[in-house]
A = this chain, B = another copy of it.
């Protein structure tokens, strides 16, 4: 008889999925994670600034003191750079500069311990679901425009910006799904995926392939072809997944 079930009540570890440790981190760590997300998702491109400290602290509902400790860490890792004076701010460093600062040690530290299968499957579920929701419910003119716009931006993207604009396209689709929870979860998982992608080479072949899939995907979504959208997205995700599974042991 297992220790955890001394009374024979018979519900072995059914509680496991829910009974995870509370507070994965303190406020400081959570804030760090969120700002890392902004950077990894490319919501603020390299060279541009984050909101001012006072504003950022308010939005995260933490004190400026705590926020500054977070920024201190990011600066030590070479991910951001602060400039004083009016029109100063906290600027996101381009990936090239950033990698130079610590040799990517911080990235490797973040990536190890990630359950790749978990991430890839969860990602696929969210993306395929979002695509299907958008196609099935249809998009109003304005919303369709947003999607088309995001796609267009990826078409004529310089190589260094491709990852960022691709992320934005997918994030747009997630937002258009009409489920804020889905959007937030996608943002979280995608930021992890981007970390993984940073560990492997960027192949132009895959990139062109990606672009064709994006086009087909958006086409299907806009014409309300739910099956087509789902299929296109699944294939698209499978491509990335195969790539990552291949390179990461």
Chain A residues with a Cβ under 8 A of chain B? 4, 7, 9, 11, 14-15, 17-23, 27, 30-31, 34, 37-38, 41, 43-44, 48-49, 51, 55-56, 59-62, 87, 115, 117-119, 121-122, 124-126, 128-130, 132-133, 168, 171, 175, 177-185, 187, 189
Question: Most chain-B CB neighbours within 10 Å: which of A44, A125, A182?
Answer: A125
- A132 to B129: give the CA distance in the assembly, Å: 11
| A22 vs B118: C-alpha distance when bound (angstroms) | 24
CA distance A55 to B11 in the complex (A): 15
Q: A129-B128, A180-B118 are in contact. Are A18 and B43 (CB under 8 A)?
A: yes
Is there an interface contact between A121 and B30, defined as CB atoms closer than 8 Å?
no
Given the known interface contacts A15-B44, A15-B51, A118-B180, the answer about A62 and B185 at a Cβ–Cβ threshold of 8 Å is no
The 5 closest A-B pairs by CB, nearest first: A125-B129, A21-B61, A121-B179, A22-B30, A122-B181
Please determine whether B9 and A48 come into contact, CB atoms closer than 8 angstroms: yes
A26 to chain B, nearest CB (A): 8
Q: A115-B180, A129-B126 in contact; A171/B30 too (CB < 8 A)?
A: no
Question: CB-CB < 8 A to A30: which residues of B?
Answer: 22-23
Distance to closest chain B CB from A240 (angstroms) = 16
Q: How many monomers of this chain does the complex have?
A: 2
Contact A27 B22 (CB under 8 A): yes
In the complex the two chains form, what is the Cα distance from A234 to B184 in whole Å? 22
Q: Which residues of B contact A19 (CB under 8 A)?
A: 34, 38, 56, 59-60
Cα of A37 to Cα of B126 in the assembled complex, Å: 22
Among A23, A117, A126, the one with the most B-chain Cβ atoms within 10 Å of its Cβ is: A23
Instruction: Say which residue of B15, B41, B87, B189 sits within 8 Å of A181 (CB atoms).
Output: B189
**A18, B37: Cβ atoms closer than 8 Å:** yes
* Complex CA distance for A37 and B34, rounded to whole angstroms: 25
A82 to chain B, nearest CB (A): 16
Contact of A38 among B15, B43, B129 (CB under 8 A): B15
A177: chain B residues at CB < 8 Å are 121, 125
Max chain B Cβ within 10 angstroms of own Cβ: one of A117, A122, A171, A185: A122
Contact among B31, B130, B184 for A17, CB-based, below 8 A: B184
In the bound complex, CA of A5 to CA of B38 (Å) = 17
CA distance A22 to B26 in the complex (A): 9
